[in-house]
Amino acid sequence: MGLLDGLLRGKTVLVNGGSQGVGAAIARAAVRAGAAVAVTGRRTEPGEALTAELASAGGRAMFVRADLADAEQAKAAVAEVVDVFGRIDCLVNSAGLTSRGTLLDTTPELFDAHIAINLKGPFFAMQAAVADMVARKAPGTIVNIITSSAHGGQPFLAPYVAAKAGLVGLTRNAAHAHRWDRIRINGLNIGWTATEGEDATQRAFHGAGDDWRVQAAARLPMGRLGQPDEIADFVVFLLSDRSGVVTGSVIDWDQNVLGGLD
């Protein structure tokens, strides 16, 4: 048996942005931990392929096509999961936009896109999920996937950092507001991670070649990029009762230490 086996048995988990990358890894880990899992995404084909994979592994899974930039779709996705599975016990907000922009060249349209996906979507998904938990007088857990760049980040991540830093504040505010409802809300500030989305970003914005992962790993203390399955196991632990009473924590899941200087 694995370390996480059974930790989410009997739970219903919704993973927003769950059709690829870190979100898909979290969905797989949640199924291995015993949960029924719903994933959302904008593209039907990868979402349905993932849920078919999860079902073939013995899990109960569903895909909801939704653009989390639209608050109404974010709320409707929660409603659809509640309609099919009866409730939501755990929510993971993993959808994200990482397109580049500096303070000087970011357009209002780009800024709004980052706010919509990286902050507004999670806000209204949390609103709908927490409303279900409160209505049932049931405990629940939420994990927001944020970024180590929320501490400041690179100059070319200005709108991304603005939105994700807002998600840090929202995580703590909501955790405080609903601690007496026994709803625990935490966040992960993840560092550089090897995902399909990161590969596309490196190639599109930084002219990266096929060996970019090797070059990146050589510049990191542990000699490798973070892996989605490692993050996924950590998220399952935070979603589970084994993480105890922890709430309002935003954990730096990274190999560089904030404030450390050489």
Mind telling me the catalytic residues? Answer: 160
Taking residue 122's Cβ as centre, other Cβ atoms within 10 Å add up to 32
Cα–Cα distance measured from residue 258 to residue 185, given in angstroms and rounded to the nearest whole number: 22
Cα–Cα distance measured from residue 206 to residue 20, given in angstroms and rounded to the nearest whole number: 22
H-helix segments, the chain:
21-32, 44-56, 71-85, 108-115, 121-135, 158-177, 196-206, 212-218, 228-239
Do residues 122 and 93 make contact, with C-beta atoms less than 8 angstroms apart?
A: yes
Taking residue 43's Cβ as centre, other Cβ atoms within 10 Å add up to 11
**What is the number of alpha carbons within 13 Å of residue 159 lying toward its C-beta?**
22
Backbone dihedral region of 153: left (phi > 0), alpha (psi from -120 to 50 degrees) or beta?
left
Record the tokens describing residue 205, joined without a space. Answer: 């914005």
Cα–Cα distance measured from residue 17 to residue 53, given in angstroms and rounded to the nearest whole number: 17
Cα–Cα distance measured from residue 91 to residue 141, given in angstroms and rounded to the nearest whole number: 7
Residues 6+ apart with CB under 8 A from 141: 89, 90, 91, 183, 184, 185, 186, 238, 239, 240, 243
Cα–Cα distance measured from residue 180 to residue 62, given in angstroms and rounded to the nearest whole number: 31
